[in-house]
Amino acid sequence: AQSVTQLDSQVPVFEEAPVELRCNYSSSVSVYLFWYVQYPNQGLQLLLKYLSGSTLVKGINGFEAEFNKSQTSFHLRKPSVHISDTAEYFCAVRLSGGSYIPTFGRGTSLIVHP
């Protein structure tokens, strides 16, 4: 079975600073990886996903993530954050060719200060 660890429960950052939200997974087989964002009192929406091919994936709102197979990581980055990026971010993993039920991390709360 796969598992996902989001190493930071909360990440405070100042506006216009860069940010990295960390995600590590464990799986012995190939996986699909996802990052979702959840704004307060709303559902989740997809930021980006990695299926195969290029390890650098670009998503919406200027976010990108890099898949690192040797380190089993899929860290999310943004070079310059805005106040509006304040939200909860979830990393999720699905086994490639396996169950379509994803496993979610516990989430990282990104807090952007002015």
User: Where does this chain bind another protein (CB under 8 A)?
Assistant: 9, 32, 34, 36, 41-46, 49, 51, 90, 94, 96-98, 100-102, 104-107
Minimum Å gap between C-beta 109 and another protein is 9
> Distances in Å between the alpha carbon of 100 and those of 13, 31, 45?
34, 11, 17
User: Taking a C-beta distance cutoff of 8 angstroms, is the pair 77, 53 a contact?
Assistant: no
Residue 15 vs 61, nearer CB to another protein:
61
Residue 19 vs 107, nearer CB to another protein:
107
Residue 47 vs 80, nearer CB to another protein:
47
Minimum Å gap between C-beta 1 and another protein is 12
Report the candidate in 5, 8, 12, 27 with the shortest Cα–Cα distance to residue 85: 12
User: Taking a C-beta distance cutoff of 8 angstroms, is the pair 23, 111 a contact?
Assistant: no
Minimum Å gap between C-beta 11 and another protein is 14
Residue 101 vs 114, nearer CB to another protein:
101
User: Taking a C-beta distance cutoff of 8 angstroms, is the pair 46, 38 a contact?
Assistant: no
Minimum Å gap between C-beta 93 and another protein is 11
Report the candidate in 43, 44, 9 with the shortest Cα–Cα distance to residue 23: 9
